[in-house]
């Protein structure tokens, strides 16, 4: 099983990588990490499938050297990882030296293997002590985040190829405060409107601090999901437009045009923090690159029985991944070209996550994940077409290096290029790992 494209089909300086995130792989019980809101969310009945937690995860805290050996063996150019705020600052404020030491060793280990480190500062492990103070509802959290960002970068920034502030603001704000699916599991429009703004203030404060400290190549990672109207009736088209607004337009419009979409502001009327307009100029300061996470599309119907935004996702007709997500590579091409055309211009875009869950099984020590090989193949073709159409896409990271803790879904869905046996922590590269190795030239 191979991909139809190879490294040589992409621009010379195109980066191929794989991505992970701290809470999903490290093991939050090791190394003096403090409790994060994910620990408390997972410890609360009904929030996470099978009551799974990130306490041990893939034990990457102890096995990072072997995991990075796999990255090198696959021939990857770059490794995208995150640092855990709760590990670096267990109470949200004071530094845990053991935590910083771990990331120092990790940074060295990445560089020693010839990999370019792509750091993400916030991939969702908010210290519980800051959640106590209101988390992302509290504007002060943005300043605390800037302090944390400076602390991490002061220690490992010298070795970082690039730094992203926030992973997926939509998930941090909407999924976690409106839909209640991720920590802190709230369902409240006022909390949501505040989080939708404060997360961008956090990005801005951290970026300002890191720039002042001389750190180069600063960006942010947004997730995008194509919003397909469930039918061609006008109400469904309008509902899909609202979905596109809060999901796909809100953050990128603020970051590049210093404004929020009017249709979403209308829905948030009365709930935005006072004076939010005064932050927009700073939020719109240029970024060096944009990270794009893309997985699927949704099919959106008007739902007159529910409050604004009065919409509901309905099942669609396309083939689906193990999590029931429709496979829609055209959406990736669509976003890469749309972003460059409407928002980011010549600013480099990097696909920072793309991949699929599948109920993989090991047989005779092998995982033949042909569905995943086909998924990656189709999405790499979409990237290739976007580049041909003029989008300045500079890299592609598969999600994920390892099977890992898939948040509210626990350990059930497997997204890895490498299979993880959670009993023994044995790693087994899948056919998709081998397909990358062949395409990009690992040994
Ligand atoms: C993204 C997250 C990542 C992973 C994938 C499947 O939203 O950034 O941590 O859970 O989805």
Say if CB 16 and CB 395 are below 8 A apart: yes
- Any ligand 1 atom below 6 A from CB of 167: yes
What is the 20 CA–ligand 1 centroid distance (Å)? 9
Q: What is the mean pLDDT of residues 15-24?
A: 99
Nearest protein Cα to ligand 1, atom 9: 21
pLDDT of amino acid 144: 98
Measure CA of the first residue to CA of the last residue in the chain; give whole Å: 17
What backbone phi and psi angles, to 5 degrees, belong to 397? -115, 125
Q: How far apart are CA 413 and CA 345, in angstroms?
A: 36
What is the 423 CA–ligand 1 centroid distance (Å)? 23
In the structure, what pLDDT confidence band is assigned to residue 362 with cuts at 50, 70 and 90?
A: very high
H or E element: which one contains 119? strand 116-122
Q: How far apart are CA 381 and CA 282, in angstroms?
A: 36
Is 168 tagged catalytic? yes
Q: How far apart are CA 260 and CA 265, in angstroms?
A: 7
What is the token pair recorded at 95? 């530094």
Which atom of ligand 1 is closest in space to residue 355's alpha carbon? Answer: 6
User: Per CATH, is 7-440 categorized as 3.50.50.60?
Assistant: no
Q: Hey, which residues does 80 pair with through a beta bridge? A: 19, 118
Is 208 tagged catalytic? no
- Any ligand 1 atom below 6 A from CB of 293: yes
- Any ligand 1 atom below 6 A from CB of 171: yes
Residues 369-389 have pLDDT tens digits of 999 999 999 999 999 999 999
What is the token pair recorded at 264? 């979403």
Q: How far apart are CA 243 and CA 220, in angstroms?
A: 21
Say if CB 270 and CB 340 are below 8 A apart: no
Q: What is the mean pLDDT of residues 157-180?
A: 99
Task: Please pick, among 161, 168, 225, 434, the residue that the annotation labels catalytic.
Answer: 168
Residues 415-435 have pLDDT tens digits of 999 999 999 999 999 999 999
Nearest residue to 23 via CA among 105, 148, 152, 123: 123
- In whole angstroms, how far apart are CA 301 and each of 30, 69, 261, 313? 45, 46, 20, 6
pLDDT of amino acid 422: 98
pLDDT above 60 for 443: no
What is the 295 CA–ligand 1 centroid distance (Å)? 9
Which atom of ligand 1 is closest in space to residue 407's alpha carbon? Answer: 10
Nearest residue to 169 via CA among 205, 122, 129, 216: 122
pLDDT of amino acid 442: 67
Q: How far apart are CA 215 and CA 295, in angstroms?
A: 30
pLDDT of amino acid 213: 98
- Any ligand 1 atom below 6 A from CB of 120: no
What is the 415 CA–ligand 1 centroid distance (Å)? 9
In this structure, how many other beta carbons lie within 10 angstroms of the beta carbon of residue 357? 22
In this structure, how many other beta carbons lie within 10 angstroms of the beta carbon of residue 95? 16
pLDDT of amino acid 374: 98
What is the token pair recorded at 106? 């990790």
Residues 237-287 have pLDDT tens digits of 999 999 999 999 999 999 999 999 999 999 999 999 999 999 999 999 999
Domain boundaries, the chain: 7-440
User: Helices marked H in 43-188 — which ranges?
Assistant: 60-73, 85-88, 97-112, 128-132, 140-156, 169-170, 176-177
- In whole angstroms, how far apart are CA 127 and each of 86, 89, 90, 133, 202? 5, 7, 6, 10, 15
Burial class (CB in 10 A: 0-12, 13-18, 19+), 270: exposed
Which atom of ligand 1 is closest in space to residue 124's alpha carbon? Answer: 9
Q: Hey, which residues does 118 pair with through a beta bridge? A: 80, 162
Nearest residue to 167 via CA among 133, 117, 125: 125
Q: How far apart are CA 82 and CA 399, in angstroms?
A: 13
- Cα diameter, the chain: 61
């Amino acid at each position: 099983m191979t991909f139809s494209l190879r490294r040589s089909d992409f621009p010379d300086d195109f980066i191929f990588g794989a991505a992970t995130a701290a809470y999903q792989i490290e093991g939050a019980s090791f190394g003096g990490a403090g409790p994060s809101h994910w620990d408390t969310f997972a410890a609360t009945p009904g929030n996470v499938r099978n009551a799974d937690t990130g306490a041990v995860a893939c034990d990457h805290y102890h096995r990072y050297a072997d995991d990075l050996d796999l990255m090198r063996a696959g021939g990857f150019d770059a490794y995208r990882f995150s640092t855990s705020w709760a590990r670096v600052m267990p109470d949200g404020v004071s530094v845990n030296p053991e935590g910083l030491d771990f990331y120092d060793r990790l940074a060295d280990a990445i560089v020693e293997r010839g990999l370019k480190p792509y750091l993400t500062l916030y991939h969702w492990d908010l210290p519980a002590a800051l959640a106590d103070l209101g988390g992302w509802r509290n504007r002060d959290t943005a300043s605390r985040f800037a302090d944390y960002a400076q602390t991490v970068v002061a220690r490992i920034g010298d070795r970082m190829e690039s730094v992203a502030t926030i992973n997926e603001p939509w998930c941090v704000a909407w999924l976690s405060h409106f839909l209640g699916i991720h920590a802190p599991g709230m369902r409240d429009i006022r909390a949501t409107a505040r989080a939708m703004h404060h997360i961008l203030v956090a990005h801005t404060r951290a970026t300002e601090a890191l720039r002042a400290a001389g750190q180069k190549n600063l960006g942010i990672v947004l997730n995008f999901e194509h919003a397909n109207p469930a039918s061609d009736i006008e109400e469904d088209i309008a509902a899909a437009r609202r979905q596109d607004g809060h999901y796909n337009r809100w953050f990128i419009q603020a970051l590049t045009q210093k404004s929020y979409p009017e249709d979403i502001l209308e829905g948030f009327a009365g709930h935005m923090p006072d004076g939010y307009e005064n932050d927009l100029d700073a939020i719109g300061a240029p970024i060096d690159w944009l990270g794009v996470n893309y997985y699927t599309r949704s099919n959106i119907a008007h739902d007159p029985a529910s409050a604004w935004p009065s919409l509901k996702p309905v099942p669609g007709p396309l083939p689906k991944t193990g999590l029931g997500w429709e496979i829609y590579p055209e959406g990736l091409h669509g976003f890469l070209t749309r972003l460059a055309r409407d928002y980011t211009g010549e600013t480099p875009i990097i696909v920072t996550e793309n991949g699929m869950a599948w109920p993989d099984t090991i047989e005779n020590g092998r995982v033949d994940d042909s569905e995943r090989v086909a998924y990656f193949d189709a999405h790499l073709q979409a990237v290739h077409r976007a580049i041909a159409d003029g989008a300045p896409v500079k890299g592609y990271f598969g999600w994920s290096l390892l099977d890992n803790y898939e948040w509210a879904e626990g350990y059930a869905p497997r997204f890895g290029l490498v299979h993880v046996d959670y009993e023994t922590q044995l790693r087994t590269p899948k056919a998709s790992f081998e397909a990358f190795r062949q395409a990009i030239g690992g040994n």
